[in-house]
A and B are shown apart, each in its own frame.
Chain A
Amino acid sequence: MMAEPRSQDVLEEGVHLDAASDDAEMAELRSLLLGPAEGQIAEIHERLTDPHRQLTEVSTVLPDAIAVRTRQDDELANALGPTVTTAIERSVRKNPQPLVDAIFPVIGPAIRRAISVALSGMVQSLNQSMAYSFSVQGLKWRIEAWRTGKPFAEVVMLHTLLFRVEQVFLIHRETGLLLQHVVAGSAAVQDADMVSGMLTAIQDFVHDSFNSPAEEQLETLEVGELTVWIEQGPLAILAAVIRGTAPQELRPVFQETLETIHLQFRTALQDFSGDASEFDGARPLLEDCLQTQVDQDKQAAAPNRFPRSLIVIASIILLALLVWGFFAWRDSRRWNAYVERVRREPGVVVTDAGTRDGKYFIDGLRDPLARDPQAFLAEANVDPKTVVTRFEPFQAMSPEFVLPRARRLLEPPPTVNLKFDNGVLEAEGFASLEWITEMRRTVRFVPGVTQFKDENLLAVDRIVNPSLLFELDKTEPAPGQEEKFKQLMADIERLQKLAESMNKNARLEITGHADGSGSEERNAELSRGRAEKIASELNARLPSKNNLTIVAAASKEKLRAELTEADRAANRSVTFKIILTDAR
């Protein structure tokens, strides 16, 4: 600081000194002193005074200068701020469209991001509850897919088809011409280019008719069960044809697509002259609009990986199947065993057996004498409630059925024994002549009996009442009874033999009788005397009497009413009662 004023003083001094000297000298001196620098000084002078030169020079350094300064501090921004604001304000007042066009691709995402940040907390909790409910849903669909044999994806598709974006139009805003058109699936849609024009025309119509401001455009059109969603951009329109009820979340997908298209195809959109092939590159973007939303829903609804809970449930199902399979197998084994058992049963014929309408059934024929097949169910461990039984009655020809049947039809007294062998029915023992006669008639109608034998069947009537006659008022038999007596003894002998062969003991009770004449006392005496007389006679004359017990008894009973002398004679007699006991 100190040196400068001093040198100035020196210079001024010099000037004072030279004041008197000649101008030419001065010029020479100057050129001597400055030499070649003189030309440079002139150039510097020019650079400082010519505004055009200055402009060019500043322009070369300006961008770098701005860069340098911006790196240092914000002063430049502070300084320029008000000017830029005013400039933008003026520009927008004059024509807002360029600015709108320029910021449209940016502002949309910016606004949506701000909103989504604000809402994210809420959305998150919502997502969780959705995921939960959807996992249950997804499980149901997996089971349905398994049950119906349809591919899982198809089942999900059926259930999630709440909406489908079927077509997307990309329309040139200015001309209403169709730029691109994508269709979901195979449904061919005709005249997309005309639809495109109509959509624009409708837009214009609504806009013009209701005088709505430019930014408020028609967004939704309802056409039957279809909805058309229209997204407006400055240069292009995206229209989506949706079947069903589309969720609002779909809007941002369309908006973003339209913004991307604006970014990528800006110049093509501005210079469009009718060649839509320039927008072939936008097809994938539009196709994403067709599918992503549906796919996302599908995925959210039914996660592609099997959740752990599903594995557990699948295992339970498998286990249940195994258990069920085992029981089914065991049941069918039991059933088969039962049917076999019934087949073996005499008098029962199984014609058909199996399952019908979820129940076992067994059909056939059954002799009424055979055992009821239902009786074996418990034994075979088959639940009677699961079985439908139908047996028609029939007559079995096997020996074990012929004999019981014969017994039932012939009703033999206990003293008669029936035997059946190879078609031959044999009766042995003794019975009343009446029964024997009846039996001989009936036996011919017993199914299964081809021959009948009754040599060993004794009619006991001759023993019961051998018609032995006695003298009036005497215990002696009347003369001429010898033949009858011999016959009686033969009969008794035969009876005794039969009893033996039947393993029985026979006992004879002899009752004496008297006619109505004479006193009661005398008659009792006569009756007893007559019975004893015969008993002693028999005991004396029968060869073996070991097995025969003979008991004598009196009776007041008359064998028949006494109308004639013959009746009276017949009443003077004895009768027998045969008592069989088991032989010890």
Chain B
Amino acid sequence: MMSERNIVQKKICMLGTFAVGKTSLVRRFVQSIYSDKYHTTVGVKIDKKLIDMDGTQKMMMMLWDVEGAEQAHELRKSYLRGASGYLLVADGTRKETLYRALEIQTRAQDALGLVPYVFLINKSDLVDEWTIDERELEALVEKGWHVIRTSAKSGVGVEEAFMALARKMMEMPK
């Protein structure tokens, strides 16, 4: 049964190593502003954004952003539980964050099963300091991964990344 309000709620998790820009991305997406001020919150920060899928369908994205130096092995199940999708974030200027992201993805898939995700390579504004090998990204794309370069600072790719995830989630069978 379709809601009269045509709003569907989805829990979305931000996954990725410490300081890759998860919080900044959420803030950019939700409020369309970018702050250089770095806030560390304890536990979880939840934000929301209502997005228009098409003429009639709206989606309320509940964005769960974990705080702290979360490592793959200590990614909490309770944090992931019930998520309809996730954004996997790596920092383009720090190569190792890509490998951490891959580990985290494995673990998330264990916990959630095959839920949609999009892989974000963030800080695309810092091209000079770019350390990630483009060939490695291409290999992922070939595997069927959806990879998007984003910058929370300039806003490039941010909207696109969240919308891509939203569309994937809508396509998922119930």
Among A269-277, A407-415, A423-431, the one that faces the other chain is: A269-277
Q: Which residue of A lies closest to B44 (CB)?
A: A201
Among B8-16, B89-97, B99-107, B153-161, the one that faces the other chain is: B8-16
Closest 10 CB pairs of A and B: A175-B82, A277-B3, A204-B78, A174-B82, A274-B8, A197-B46, A201-B44, A274-B9, A175-B11, A177-B9
Interface status of B4 (Cβ within 8 A of chain A) = yes
Task: Decide if B2 touches A275 in the complex (CB within 8 Å).
Answer: yes
Task: Decide if B44 touches A194 in the complex (CB within 8 Å).
Answer: no
Interface status of A178 (Cβ within 8 A of chain B) = yes
Q: Which residues of A contact B2 (CB under 8 A)?
A: 275
Q: If A177-B9, A205-B44, A208-B76 touch, does A277 touch B4 (CB 8 Å cutoff)?
A: yes
Range, interface on chain B: 20 to 34
Q: How many residues of A contact B (CB 8 A)?
A: 25
Task: Decide if B44 touches A276 in the complex (CB within 8 Å).
Answer: no
Q: Which residue of B lies closest to A172 (CB)?
A: B82
Q: Which residues of B contact A105 (CB under 8 A)?
A: none
Task: Decide if A178 touches B9 in the complex (CB within 8 Å).
Answer: yes
Among the listed A173, A174, A198, A275, which residue makes an inter-chain contact with B46, where contact means beta carbons less than 8 Å apart?
A198
Distance of A74 from chain B, by nearest CB (Å):
45
Interface status of A191 (Cβ within 8 A of chain B) = yes
Distance of B54 from chain A, by nearest CB (Å):
16
Docked pose: A194 CA to B43 CA in angstroms? 15
Max chain B C-beta neighbours (<10 A), residue from A193, A274, A276: A274
Docked pose: A534 CA to B30 CA in angstroms? 144
Task: Decide if A176 touches B62 in the complex (CB within 8 Å).
Answer: yes
Interface status of A207 (Cβ within 8 A of chain B) = yes
In the complex, chain B residues 25-47 whose Cβ is within 8 Å of any chain A Cβ:
43-44, 46-47
Q: If A174-B82, A205-B43, A208-B78 touch, does A276 touch B62 (CB 8 Å cutoff)?
A: no
Docked pose: A189 CA to B64 CA in angstroms? 21
Interface status of A383 (Cβ within 8 A of chain B) = no
* Interface residues of A, Cβ cutoff 8 Å to B: 172-178, 191, 193-194, 197-198, 201-202, 204-205, 207-208, 271, 273-278
Docked pose: A138 CA to B138 CA in angstroms? 78
Interface status of B60 (Cβ within 8 A of chain A) = yes
Task: Decide if A176 touches B82 in the complex (CB within 8 Å).
Answer: yes
Q: Which residues of B contact A177 (CB under 8 A)?
A: 9-11, 62, 82
Docked pose: A194 CA to B61 CA in angstroms? 10
Docked pose: A277 CA to B79 CA in angstroms? 25
Task: Decide if A204 touches B11 in the complex (CB within 8 Å).
Answer: no
Distance of B66 from chain A, by nearest CB (Å):
9
Docked pose: A197 CA to B82 CA in angstroms? 11
Task: Decide if A175 touches B78 in the complex (CB within 8 Å).
Answer: no
Distance of A232 from chain B, by nearest CB (Å):
13
Q: Which residues of A contact B151 (CB under 8 A)?
A: none
Docked pose: A42 CA to B171 CA in angstroms? 59
Docked pose: A174 CA to B3 CA in angstroms? 20
Task: Decide if A274 touches B81 in the complex (CB within 8 Å).
Answer: no
Distance of A174 from chain B, by nearest CB (Å):
4
Q: Which residues of A contact B4 (CB under 8 A)?
A: 277
Sample (26) of A-B pairs whose CB atoms are under 8 Å apart: A175-B9, A175-B11, A175-B62, A175-B82, A175-B83, A176-B11, A176-B62, A177-B11, A178-B9, A191-B48, A194-B46, A197-B46, A197-B48, A197-B62, A198-B46, A201-B64, A204-B44, A204-B76, A204-B79, A273-B84, A273-B174, A274-B9, A274-B10, A274-B60, A275-B7, A276-B7
